[in-house]
Amino acid sequence: MNKYYFTFLLILSQTFNLIAQPDIKIEPRNIKFEDIFSRFDYTYIYNDGDQVLYIDSLSATKPHYILDFENHPQLPIAVNPGDTIRLNITLTNFYNITVNDTADTVWVYSNDSESPRDLRIKIDFFDDDFGTCSGIISDEALTPLPNSKIFFFYYGIYLFDSTLTDISGNYNIQLPTGDYTVAAEKEGYRVMFSGNTPDPYFAQSVLLDSGQTVNVDLVLPVINNTGFSVSGVVIDSVYGTPIDKGVVIIRKGTHTPTLLKQNPLTSDSSVYAGFVRSDGSYNINVEDSTYYFVQGYSDYFLPTYFNSQNSASIFWQNADSVFVNQTITNKNLYLERDSSYGGGGANGKNFLPFLYAEQLNGITVFAKSLSNNQLYSYNFGKDDGRFYISNLPYGSYQLVAQKVGFPNATSSTFTISPQNQNQYQLNIQFTLTDVEIEEGFVPEEIKLYPNYPNPFNPTTTISFSLSSPQIVNIKVYNLLGEEIAEISNQIFSSGINEVNFNASGFASGIYIVSLEANSIRLSQKIALMK
């Protein structure tokens, strides 16, 4: 009897010990990062046992994760039986993901009997589909340029890969599917971007689909050896260390922070670009002796201008231009980090005042958090005004756009959330406030400028210029050619003039604005969107 009683107690004791212990469960057990710009995810750790779970430490196979528990910044952490705690996993933006990065593991150490438990992480940014980009690099005489270096920017801002041309000036490279900007450089020649422009703001994007081959040829003009150049180092403004890749742009313009003047963006021909070397240095030759803005950008850093204070100057209003009349050195750029990690996005269009409506290139759009005024993510506007901003964490934002010579412009506010990860048709309207127009400006011809805003609801401004005072008749027609409104029929003075059109009584659609003056008739389409 005693023998069996002892055995029963022993079995009971062992059974109790098996039950009365912490039991860690991790759900989901697998994390997958599928978007190069979305590097934040989370899992839940649940204590399914009968004793307190103590999480002692966390470790990852690779050191490029930020691991933290929600509302619990420090380890160890106690999790009571039946309770759950969220573990946040952020793949740091400052780790350069390559096609060789596939999987990783996070280990959770605790007093659980099966500690450490593993959390599997899959990185499949580039696991699926690939296409091919090929082309030829030549000079202006169409002579092939061997050993030219070709750069590929994922969505225009992420320097993903590079290659060299062969002896015949040809290149061929496989790339993950996506939207790319292509650029080429060679010593003694001007750096050019897809669309054969020296300005990355003007660059044409190339969409690469799975299994597709796209051809991008570039022509590199010779740079005359004038002896004028600018050099320096691109530096992380947080750590003070060199940044080992990126682009530096040199653009004509005169400005100091204490002297706010009109500084309109000049033509393509006044822009030079160069690539940052592995030691963080850059050197760019220019042909004209004049003042230049110096601006740099790199992966996961915001575009930043040079200023004499050795600080990060995001906006041109805080930039110091550099007078280049010889070899100019030590013009270091301090880049501010972009701490974006989310998967939300926003798109829309930029609108410039009538006088500059054709200069939509050269605009940078940022997303500013309304909670902390921090800038998250950016991109360059297209030549039709369109822009797209990705990589936005959940929160409320306002878009901020800048163009040299103009006051910054903003959009309406919006929110990125799990329910609304993308916001569409956010318009940004620049104004002429604080921008000087030459006094007494008289145009050489009659000109009808694009209306703004466009699309509009229900009012829009129609602007035009006259070389002399004269009667101007402005009418609006539908697409059937039927007159629906006469906006004006009167004498206007020489110079720039404006009239307003109120379409509150009309249906959404495309209409034609017609201007007639001095036997000249001009017309353009406008879009009413209610």
pLDDT tens, 511-523?
A: 999 999 888 888 8
Q: Is the model's pTM score more than 0.75? A: no
Q: Is 318 exposed, middle or buried (0-12, 13-18, 19+ CB in 10 A)?
A: middle
Distance CA 73, CA 75 (A): 7
Output phi, psi for 490, to 5 deg. Answer: -155, 175
pLDDT band of residue 266 (cuts 50, 70, 90) is very low
Of the segments 65-79, 84-98, 313-327, which one has the largest average pLDDT value?
313-327
Rounded mean pLDDT, 475-490:
91
Question: Which of these ranges, 136-145, 163-172, 258-267, 329-338, has the smallest mean pLDDT?
Answer: 258-267
Specify the pLDDT at position 494: 81
**pLDDT mean over 151-156:** 90
- pLDDT, position 358: 67
Question: Residue 417 CB: number of other CB atoms within 10 A?
Answer: 10
List, as one string, the DSSP characters of 316-375: GGG---EEESSEE----EEEPB------EEEEEEEE--GGGTT--SS-EEEEEETTT--E
Q: Are strands 386-392 and 447-448 parallel, antiparallel or unpaired?
A: unpaired
Residue 68 · residue 55 · CB < 8 Å: no
- What values do phi and psi take at 249, rounded to 5? -115, 135
288 burial type by CB count under 10 A (0-12 exposed, 13-18 middle, 19+ buried): middle
Q: Provide the greatest CA pair distance for the chain.
A: 122
The whole-angstrom separation of Cα 50 and Cα 70 is 23
Give pLDDT, residue 269: 54
Confidence (pLDDT) at 329: 95
- Which residues does residue 269 pair with via DSSP β-bridges, in sequence order? none
Structural domains in the chain? 20-123 (2.60.40.10), 130-220 (2.60.40.1120), 228-335 (2.60.40.1120), 344-429 (2.60.40.10), 447-528 (2.60.40.2550)
Rounded CA separation 135/379 (Å): 26
- Whether the pLDDT of residue 439 is over 50: the answer is no
- pLDDT reading at 10 higher than 50: no
**Strand, coil or helix: what is 454?**
coil
Confidence of residue 261 (pLDDT cuts 50, 70, 90): very low
Q: What is the DSSP letter of 127?
A: S
Higher per-residue confidence, 165 vs 393: 165
pLDDT digit string, tens, across residues 350-362: 888 766 666 777 7
Average pLDDT along the chain:
84
Strand ranges inside 202-289, DSSP E: 206-208, 213-215, 218-220, 228-236, 247-252, 271-275, 281-286
Per-residue model confidence (pLDDT) at position 19: 55
Residue 410's pLDDT band (cuts 50, 70, 90): very high
- Reply yes or no on whether the pLDDT at 268 is more than 70: no
